[in-house]
């Protein structure tokens, strides 16, 4: 009997729970099997057709899917109107830059291009036996419908997925695969289908991030992003503040630059899509979504939002406290109200609604996590204040009742989930970087497993949204740049949480399944009694490159678990900032590295049987002596950050384990207030983001 | 207050919707390094924001400037684009008469109906005067390069004289005494510093930060940089450049912008921070004096205006002028037997400089604020402009202005 804190996001794809993966010793589906089910056996493989293949979406997705499907020998057919400018060829240089010329040439050689006039399909298309159509043609409902009709009649049984920017599936009559920008690399697809299809599961198996959403006008990301743009526009019209400055303030309070994003995507197309999304939403949900005059003007003209280069801004705008409060009300009020609507309509799994802004629109925090932090009454108050500024929004689409359930697991466990089968628990982390939200949710997950009497645990990514674990979220260090106490708090509290994985379970296994596990996330994982990884994962401590001094005990914890002759390997990792392949780290950093199937099996086996499977490395809780201090082998060894990290290693290893947490935290905190840190990446980001 | 019909009965200046940059002296501030039209457009938007005026309420923009700037061809529509809002409009210039003329044209625009909220935006940059290159077949050089600010100050093509010489000539004509001119200049500086220290000027002037190409702070425009604290003794020892004209008794070139709104009377309530204050256009006049006598033109214009309206100088609650030379005030006082201590109570261009386009706009704003403080009354604004031109207007500030 499986129990979980909340529904796993994997389950929304019909792929079960994460603990099933470990219990079954394998991933829920395999790409090659699904390729056969969708495209047919190798001898009779059908084709993928992308219509509108020369557009921004079509061409981008041709590249993204081409890379993944080309090894299976699937013909990739790009269909478009005659005379449309070549969008696919335009992608070649990016493809070559990412994968090298040879692979790029191979992918391009699988791409077959046809023109058609919109009324009849090319005769030769039949030869390729199309099995899956991804439609990316212009947003005209009748044109889309007749396009589907032609394909369905010509190729009965073909799966049709539309990338539409806003029409519901009920209007189109086909499933929706709505992708996020930039289309070549963004793996998120918002999927509308009655139940998870084989195509969706294949996309997951190919490393994409399909997110099931309900069948409503516009999509989760579009509601958030277009809605945010609209809020910013309303503030512009209420205050005259120029778009470029509004962008800076939006970035300060939330993260995205909505206007810059439009210009980068291409203002003409992006303005239209934003307008179109809001226009349709306003028809159904009222004035909350009604496009403003300046959006209409920019839609009609295709004009950029930022001034032309020769008109870079001259007059600065610095909002005072009152103006900032009003700005916050315009922006947050609208965003909270839109989120209430999506939650009311149950548009997607909470984690999906929350994470999509972070994954696709540069939100520093998920929107639900932000509301959770504000609390129910503050969130409602902000919306009510917003309604005073913009009374039109109060009439419709406001559902404050959804905030009553803030204490429910769906709200409380957005990033971290826990499941167990009665014997082994699995803690899954659905965020690539560690922040206070993750820290608090992780503590709750540990508490829950303990309350369920679970003593054996695996800590892992969620096999869905976190395809890698990149380290600490450096935005969380901003307050520490000028406040050593805050730096100490971050380091100490996060380390305390990590230590729970060591102290509060009989066995704990850190499991690394993604491409990389770095920095703070690796520090978290090393606190598990065992560390198991897929063999090609990159493991590293890039803190020195930022620079910061690692704060979650990397400077002594790992040293306590290895023989002194391996300390130099740890020092290299810490002081060079270079990653190491998991396969080369066995014995001194990891306990096992192997193929994904073997790693999954052995992780669960260790969780159940610990030392019967692998010897447990003992954590030396006493002082360590003899840490090498000669760094002559290291280029730039006199660099202040390297010295600070080495000092931290020597001093935190030079005390017992109890004291070490304080020593490490002090070193980390002190360095964050140093000039080196303030002039480095984090200081630079802080200046750009917060000093508006 | 005597009752006089307004020449534009439907036009009003809404109280609290005006603002000006400080006017730093030429070459002294970051304004010397920017496109002044772009600056003005952006600054207007910011000033209106501070005054809680949404720019999208404005339906027409009259810009005024006199010194060529980059892309001047595009005039008002370009400047409004720089403000972030695309408005129709037109551009006006008549040297230092520009600011007042732009306001009067805005009132006419409202009165005649096509617009009911007109922005007036005036600006100029005397720093780094642009140089025009003109093919001139009749000159021996064949091509003339003309520094727009300094060559024009130095040479009126219609008379052949410099601007400065008109002050000397007028001083001699009116038998003005150097001693009195020095006293006027000294007193005007005292008036300015008192208004500054009392916080009065800060009601009109908005500090602004100027960004460089990288978006970093280039400089702050938060004072009338270049205004000196002169002493009477110091003034008396200054070398005379022409009769009664010294470096201390004439203005200096400066840079800046000033903006206000003219609306129909029915929009006051929604736009003004104190809608009970009613500011009307009572009369206007322009005149051209005899050649080389520019400083007498304002006094003659005021005479003409008073005759037109039936008002007298004693009916005026506030008297304020553009006075590039202290001689202007001495002539005015002599012509009207008026105590010059009673005018320009909060400072004047003689002190804070001469950016041309926005000069009379700022003069008007300060005068209207002063009238509000006095509880209303007639406000006389006048000044001279290149070409021996005089311009004058009377505004009426309602008694409702009393706090």
Q: Which residues of B touch A (CB under 8 A)?
A: 34-35, 38-39, 42-43, 45-46, 48-49, 53-56, 82-86, 208-211, 213, 215, 217
Q: Give whole-number Cα distances, B248 to A571, B178, B184, in Å.
A: 73, 12, 10
Which of A241, A293, A314 lies at the smallest CB-CB distance from B56?
A293
Is there a contact between A240 and B209 if contact means CB atoms under 8 Å apart? no
Contact predicate B290/B337, CB 8 Å: no
- Dihedral angle sign, alpha carbons of residues B28, B34, B37, B41: negative
Which residues does chain B have within 8 Å of residue A297's beta carbon, measured at their own beta carbons? 86
Query: Which residues pair with residue A111 across a beta bridge?
Result: A76
Is there a contact between A314 and B34 if contact means CB atoms under 8 Å apart? yes
Interface test with B, best of A234, A244, A311, A315 (most B CBs within 10 A): A315
Give the distance from residue A266's alpha carbon to the nearest chain B alpha carbon, in angstroms.
20
Q: Does domain B159-189+279-396 have CATH number 3.90.1300.10?
A: no
Q: In the structure encoding, which two tokens stand for residue A368, read together?
A: 């639900």
The average pLDDT across A125-144 equals: 94
Contact predicate A428/A445, CB 8 Å: no
The average pLDDT across A454-483 equals: 96
Nearest partner of A228 among A189, A254, A267, A265, judged by Cα:
A254
Counting other chains too, the contacts that A156-162 makes at CB distance below 8 Å and 24 or more residues apart are A158/A130, A158/A131, A158/A132, A158/A133, A159/A38, A159/A131, A159/A132, A159/A133, A159/A197, A159/A199, A160/A133, A160/A135, A161/A132, A161/A133, A161/A134, A161/A135, A161/A199, A162/A134, A162/A135
Is there a contact between B209 and A316 if contact means CB atoms under 8 Å apart? yes
pLDDT of residue B400: 64
Which of A243, A312, A315 lies at the smallest CB-CB distance from B46?
A315
Is there a contact between B34 and A241 if contact means CB atoms under 8 Å apart? no
pLDDT of residue B402: 53
Which residues does chain B have within 8 Å of residue A303's beta carbon, measured at their own beta carbons? none
- Average pLDDT over chain B, rounded to whole? 96
Question: CB within 8 A of A570, min separation 6: which ones?
Answer: A558, A559, A562, A588, A589
The ipTM (two decimal places) reads 0.94
Please check the confidence at residue A636 and state whether its pLDDT lies above 80.
Answer: no
Is there a contact between B48 and A240 if contact means CB atoms under 8 Å apart? yes
Is there a contact between A315 and B210 if contact means CB atoms under 8 Å apart? yes
A45-212 in CATH: which number?
3.40.50.720
Contact predicate A112/A50, CB 8 Å: no
Contact predicate A45/A73, CB 8 Å: yes
Distance CA B102, CA B40 (A): 15
- Which CATH architecture group holds B11-127+201-241+248-271? 3-Layer(aba) Sandwich (3.40)
- SS3 of residue B318 by DSSP: strand
Interface test with A, best of B29, B30, B56 (most A CBs within 10 A): B56
pLDDT of residue A182: 87
Q: Strand A3-4: give its sheet, edge to edge.
A: A3-4, A416-420, A424-429, A456-461, A507-512, A530-534, A592-594
Question: CB within 8 A of B336, min separation 6: which ones?
Answer: B299, B302, B313
The average pLDDT across A630-657 equals: 90
Axis crossing angle, helix A321-344 with helix A350-360, rounded to the nearest 10:
130
Helix (H) or strand (E) holding A150, with range, is helix A141-154
Is there a contact between A317 and B46 if contact means CB atoms under 8 Å apart? yes
Is there a contact between B86 and A297 if contact means CB atoms under 8 Å apart? yes
Is there a contact between B56 and A316 if contact means CB atoms under 8 Å apart? no
Give the distance from residue B81's alpha carbon to the nearest chain A alpha carbon, in angstroms.
10
pLDDT of residue B161: 94
Q: Any chain B CB within 8 A of the CB of A311?
A: yes
Distance CA B312, CA B295 (A): 21
Please check the confidence at residue A328 and state whether its pLDDT lies above 60.
Answer: yes
Please check the confidence at residue B399 and state whether its pLDDT lies above 80.
Answer: no
Search chain A and give the residue with CA nearest B55: A240
Q: Please give the torsion angle defined by the CA atoms of residues A617, A620, A624 and A629, in that order, rounded to the nearest 10 degrees.
A: 30
Give chain B's length.
403
pLDDT of residue B135: 94
pLDDT band at B401 (very low <50, low <70, confident <90, very high): low
The average pLDDT across A50-57 equals: 93
What count of CB pairs under 8 Å joins A to B?
55
Q: Give whole-number Cα distances, A618 to A51, A213, A445, A560, A649, in Å.
A: 59, 47, 26, 8, 19
**β strands within B129-254, DSSP E:** 131-135, 143-147, 208-211, 217-221
The average pLDDT across B314-336 equals: 98
Distance CA A464, CA A207 (A): 9
Nearest partner of B385 among B317, B240, B277, B288, judged by Cα:
B288
The span from the first CA to the last CA of chain A, in angstroms, equals 53
pLDDT in tens, A542-582: 999 999 999 999 999 999 999 999 999 999 999 999 999 99
Interface test with A, best of B20, B44, B49, B57 (most A CBs within 10 A): B49
CB atoms within 10 A of CB A485: 10
Nearest partner of B222 among A313, A416, A247, A316, judged by Cα:
A316
Q: Any idea which residue has 């909060």 for tokens?
A: B346
This prediction's pTM: 0.93
Please check the confidence at residue A307 and state whether its pLDDT lies above 90.
Answer: yes
Nearest partner of B234 among B225, B226, B252, B246, judged by Cα:
B246
Give the distance from residue B350's alpha carbon to the nearest chain A alpha carbon, in angstroms.
27
Distance CA B169, CA B292 (A): 7
Distance CA B392, CA B307 (A): 12
Is there a contact between A316 and B39 if contact means CB atoms under 8 Å apart? no
pLDDT in tens, A219-235: 999 999 999 999 999 99
Distance CA A307, CA A260 (A): 11
The domain ranges of chain A are: 45-212, 220-410, 415-690
pLDDT of residue A632: 79
How do strand A507-512 and strand A530-534 relate by DSSP bridges?
parallel
Query: Which residues pair with residue B209 across a beta bridge?
Result: B220
Q: Any idea which residue has 């000027």 for tokens?
A: B201
The average pLDDT across B349-365 equals: 97
Distance CA A603, CA B42 (A): 62
Search chain B and give the residue with CA nearest A242: B84
Secondary structure, 3-state, A370-430: HHHHHCHHHHHHHHHHHHHHCHHHHHCCCCHHHHHHCCCHHHHCCCEEEEECCCEEEEEEC
pLDDT in tens, A160-174: 999 998 899 999 999
Give the distance from residue A238's alpha carbon to the nearest chain B alpha carbon, in angstroms.
6
Is there a contact between B38 and A311 if contact means CB atoms under 8 Å apart? yes
Search chain B and give the residue with CA nearest A322: B50
DSSP secondary structure string for all residues of A432-448: SEE-HHHHHHHHHHHHH
Distance CA A276, CA A283 (A): 11
Q: Domain A220-410: which topology?
A: 1.10.1040
pLDDT band at A126 (very low <50, low <70, confident <90, very high): very high
Query: Which residues pair with residue A387 across a beta bridge?
Result: none
Which of A238, A240, A318 lies at the smallest CB-CB distance from B84?
A240
Which of A240, A293, A318 lies at the smallest CB-CB distance from B209?
A318
Give the distance from residue A542's alpha carbon to the nearest chain B alpha carbon, in angstroms.
30
Give the distance from residue B46's alpha carbon to the nearest chain A alpha carbon, in angstroms.
7
Q: Any chain B CB within 8 A of the CB of A237?
A: yes
Distance CA B271, CA B391 (A): 29
Q: Show which of residues 281-300 on chain A sit within 8 Å of chain B, judged by CB atoms.
A: 293-294, 297
Contact predicate A205/A31, CB 8 Å: yes
Calculate what percentage of chain B has a pLDDT beyond 90. 96
Q: Does domain A415-690 have CATH number 3.90.226.10?
A: yes
Is there a contact between A315 and B49 if contact means CB atoms under 8 Å apart? no
pLDDT in tens, B203-220: 999 999 999 999 999 999
Contact predicate A11/A349, CB 8 Å: no
Contact predicate B53/B11, CB 8 Å: no
pLDDT band at B403 (very low <50, low <70, confident <90, very high): low
Which of B39, B49, B211 lies at the smallest CB-CB distance from A241?
B49
Which residues does chain A have within 8 Å of residue B84's beta carbon, measured at their own beta carbons? 236, 240, 242-243
Query: Which residues pair with residue A438 across a beta bridge?
Result: none
Which of B46, B86, B209 lies at the smallest CB-CB distance from A240?
B46
Q: Strand A76-80: give its sheet, edge to edge.
A: A111-115, A76-80, A47-51, A130-135, A159-162, A175-179, A188-192, A209-212
pLDDT in tens, A25-47: 999 999 999 999 999 999 999 99
The CATH 3.40.47.10 domain(s) of chain B lie at 11-127+201-241+248-271, 159-189+279-396
pLDDT band at A81 (very low <50, low <70, confident <90, very high): very high
pLDDT in tens, A415-459: 999 999 999 999 999 999 999 999 999 999 999 999 999 999 999
Q: Any chain B CB within 8 A of the CB of A236?
A: yes
Contact predicate A61/A89, CB 8 Å: no
Nearest partner of A480 among A494, A501, A497, judged by Cα:
A494
Question: CB within 8 A of A269, min separation 6: which ones?
Answer: A56
How do strand B217-221 and strand A592-594 relate by DSSP bridges?
unpaired
Which of A241, A315, A318 lies at the smallest CB-CB distance from B43?
A315
Q: In the structure encoding, which two tokens stand for residue A593, read together?
A: 């590295």
Contact predicate A650/A440, CB 8 Å: no
Q: In the structure encoding, which two tokens stand for residue A67, read together?
A: 């890379």
Q: Give whole-number Cα distances, B234 to A691, B186, B229, B239, B240, in Å.
A: 46, 10, 10, 10, 13
Q: In the structure encoding, which two tokens stand for residue B366, read together?
A: 């300060």
């Amino acid at each position: 009997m499986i129990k979980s804190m909340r529904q796993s996001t994997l389950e929304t794809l019909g792929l079960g729970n994460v603990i099933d993966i470990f219990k079954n010793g394998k991933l829920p589906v395999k790409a090659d099997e699904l390729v056969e089910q969708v495209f047919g056996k190798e001898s009779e493989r059908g084709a993928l057709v992308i219509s509108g293949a020369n557009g921004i979406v079509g061409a981008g997705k041709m590249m993204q899917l081409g890379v993944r499907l080309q090894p299976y020998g699937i013909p990739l057919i790009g269909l478009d109107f005659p005379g449309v400018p070549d969008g696919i060829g335009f992608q070649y240089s990016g493809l070559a830059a990412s994968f090298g010329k040879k692979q790029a040439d191979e992918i391009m050689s699988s791409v077959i291009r046809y023109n058609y006039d919109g009324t009849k399909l090319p005769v030769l298309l039949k030869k390729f036996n199309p099995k899956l159509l991804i439609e990316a043609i212009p947003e005209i409902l009748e044109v889309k419908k007749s396009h589907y009709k032609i394909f369905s009649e010509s190729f009965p049984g073909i799966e049709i997925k539309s990338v539409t920017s806003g029409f519901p599936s009920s209007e189109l009559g086909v499933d929706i695969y709505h992708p996020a920008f930039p289309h070549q690399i963004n793996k998120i697809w918002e999927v509308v289908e009655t139940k998870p299809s084989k195509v969706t599961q294949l996309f997951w198996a190919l490393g994409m991030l399909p997110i099931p959403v309900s069948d409503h006008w516009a999509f989760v990301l579009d509601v958030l992003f277009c809605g945010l743009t609209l809020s910013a526009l309303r503030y512009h019209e209420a205050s005259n503040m120029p778009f470029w400055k509004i962008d800076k303030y939006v970035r300060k309070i939330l993260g995205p630059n909505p206007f810059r994003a439009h210009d980068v995507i291409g203002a003409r197309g992006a303005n239209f899509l934003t307008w179109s999304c809001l226009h349709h939403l306003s028809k159904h949900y009222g004035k909350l979504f009604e496009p403003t005059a300046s959006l209409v003007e920019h839609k009609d003209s295709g004009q950029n939002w930022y001034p032309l280069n020769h008109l870079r801004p001259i007059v600065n705008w610095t909002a005072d406290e009152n103006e900032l409060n009003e700005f916050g009300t315009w922006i947050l009020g609208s965003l909270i109200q839109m989120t209430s609507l999506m939650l009311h309509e149950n548009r997607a799994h909470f984690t999906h609604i929350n994470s999509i802004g972070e994954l696709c629109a540069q939100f520093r925090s998920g929107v639900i996590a932000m509301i959770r932090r504000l609390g129910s009454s503050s969130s409602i108050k902000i919306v009510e204040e917003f309604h005073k500024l913009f009374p039109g929004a109060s009439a419709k689409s406001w559902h404050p009742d959804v905030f009553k359930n803030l204490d429910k697991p769906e709200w409380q466990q957005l990033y971290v989930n826990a499941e167990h089968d009665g014997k082994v628990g699995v803690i899954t982390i659905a965020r690539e970087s560690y922040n206070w939200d993750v820290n608090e949710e992780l503590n709750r997950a540990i508490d829950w497993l303990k309350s369920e009497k679970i003593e054996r645990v695996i800590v892992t990514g969620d096999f869905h949204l976190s395809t890698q674990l990149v380290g600490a979220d450096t935005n969380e260090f901003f307050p520490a740049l000028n406040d050593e106490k805050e730096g100490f708090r971050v380091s100490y509290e996060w380390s305390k949480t990590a230590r729970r994985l060591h102290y509060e379970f009989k066995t704990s296994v850190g499991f690394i399944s993604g491409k990389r596990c770095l920095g703070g996330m690796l520090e978290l994982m090393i606190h598990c009694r065992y560390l198991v990884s897929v063999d090609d994962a990159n493991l590293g401590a890039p803190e020195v490159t930022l620079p910061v001094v690692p704060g979650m005990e990397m400077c002594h914890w790992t040293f306590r678990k290895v023989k002194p002759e391996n300390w130099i390997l740890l020092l290299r990792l810490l002081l060079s900032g270079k990653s190491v392949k998991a396969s080369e780290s066995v014995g001194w950093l990891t306990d096992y590295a192997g193929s994904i199937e073997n790693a999954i099996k052995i992780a669960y086996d260790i969780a159940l049987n610990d030392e019967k499977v692998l010897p447990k490395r003992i954590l030396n809780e006493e002082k360590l002596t003899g840490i090498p201090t000669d760094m002559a082998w290291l280029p730039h060894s006199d660099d202040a950050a390297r010295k600070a990290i080495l000092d931290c290693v020597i001093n935190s290893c030079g005390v017992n384990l109890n004291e070490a947490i304080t020593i490490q935290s002090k070193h980390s905190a002190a360095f964050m207030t140093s000039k080196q840190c303030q002039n480095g990446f984090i200081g630079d980001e802080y200046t750009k983001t917060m000093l508006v | 207050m005597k009752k006089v019909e307004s020449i534009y009965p439907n036009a009003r200046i809404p109280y609290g919707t005006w603002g000006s940059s400080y006017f730093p002296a030429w070459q002294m501030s970051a304004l010397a390094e920017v496109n002044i039209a772009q600056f003005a457009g952006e600054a207007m938007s910011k000033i209106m924001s501070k005054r809680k005026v949404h720019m999208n309420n404005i339906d027409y923009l009259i810009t005024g400037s006199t010194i060529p700037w980059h892309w001047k061809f595009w005039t008002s529509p370009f400047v409004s684009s720089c403000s972030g809002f695309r408005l129709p409009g037109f551009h006006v210039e008549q040297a230092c008469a520009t600011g007042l003329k732009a306001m009067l044209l805005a009132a006419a625009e409202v009165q005649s109906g096509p617009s009911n909220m007109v922005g007036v935006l005036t600006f100029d940059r005397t720093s780094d005067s642009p140089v025009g290159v003109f093919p001139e077949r009749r000159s021996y050089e064949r091509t003339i390069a003309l520094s727009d600010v300094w060559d024009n100050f130095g040479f009126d093509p219609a008379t052949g004289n410099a601007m400065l010489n008109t002050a000397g000539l007028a001083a001699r004509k009116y038998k003005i005494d150097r001693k009195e001119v020095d006293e006027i200049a000294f007193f005007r500086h005292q008036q300015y510093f008192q208004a500054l220290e009392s916080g009065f000027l800060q009601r009109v002037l908005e500090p602004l930060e100027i960004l460089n190409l990288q978006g970093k702070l280039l400089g702050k425009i938060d004072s009338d940089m270049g205004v000196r604290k002169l002493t009477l003794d110091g003034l008396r020892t200054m070398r005379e450049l022409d009769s009664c004209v010294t470096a201390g008794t004439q203005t200096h070139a400066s840079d800046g912008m000033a903006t206000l709104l003219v609306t129909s009377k029915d929009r006051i309530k929604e736009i003004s921070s104190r809608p009970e204050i009613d500011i009307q256009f009572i009369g206007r006049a322009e005149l051209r004096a005899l050649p080389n006598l520019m400083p007498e033109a304002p006094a003659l214009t005021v005479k003409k205006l008073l005759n037109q309206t039936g008002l007298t100088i004693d009916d005026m609650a506030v008297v304020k002028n553009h006075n590039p030379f202290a001689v202007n005030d001495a002539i005015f006082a002599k012509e009207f037997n008026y105590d010059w201590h009673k005018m320009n109570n909060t400072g004047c261009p003689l002190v804070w400089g001469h950016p041309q386009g926005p000069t009379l706009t700022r003069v008007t704003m300060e005068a209207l604020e002063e009238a509000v403080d006095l509880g209303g009354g007639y406000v006389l604004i006048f000044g001279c402009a290149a070409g021996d031109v005089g311009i004058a207007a009377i505004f009426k500030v309602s008694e409702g202005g009393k706090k």
